[in-house]
Amino acid sequence: MNRRLLHRISLLAALAALGAGATHAWAQQAPAAAATQPWKYKTQRLGRAEVDALLAQPDKLLVLDVRRPDELVRYGSFPVFLSVQNRDLEKHLAYLPKDRTILTVSNHANRAGAAGDLLAARGFKVAGATGSEDYEQEGGKAVVHIQPPAPRAAASAAP
């Protein structure tokens, strides 16, 4: 199945669950990526509406992007974020504020889920995890695509 079809199936399943009275069932089985990988983290996987609600209160939120720099350029991220790669997160915990709610971000929320679990275990308040690609596929508009700097001109040799 292609990603678009899987996404539509996920949305239909979420709507059916909501209609049946289930709460947040779609958050645990969200976008196309969830159809290929089951959610295995304690941190809640957030959908577009939940992320937008968090972004509406920037004075209370820290967006923590745990991807590599090349992924930030390729896929974009939210307008203001702190970038700490997932593999380096534990050694940089002292730099993270404990007075803000943290939203962890990766491409499809899997690394973000692992980061959220680590942070919650260390006493941080974690709102949830999201994937920037999933967020955009759900119609989210807050992702900013970063433009890499133009290549430097070669230094000219002095005569």
What are the domain boundaries of the chain? Answer: 41-137
Rounded Cα–Cα distance for residues 57 and 80 (Å): 12
CA separation (Å) from 90 to 16, 53, 107, 155?
39, 28, 20, 41
Question: Which residues contact residue 59 at a Cβ distance below 8 angstroms, ignoring those fewer than 6 apart?
Answer: none
Name the nearest CA neighbour of 64 among 4, 8, 119: 119
| Predicted pLDDT at 155 | 63
| DSSP line for 68-94 | -HHHHHHH-B-SS-EE--GGGTGGGGG
- 116 close to 102: Cβ distance less than 8 angstroms: yes
CA distances from 57 to 18, 79, 84, 90, 119 (A): 26, 13, 22, 26, 20
- CATH class, 41-137 region: alpha beta
Could you list the mean pLDDT of each consecutive 10-residue stretch along the chain, which spans 159 residues? 36 32 34 64 97 96 95 90 95 95 97 97 97 95 84 69
Predicted structure pTM score: 0.71
Do residues 119 and 126 touch, judged by C-beta distance below 8 A?
yes
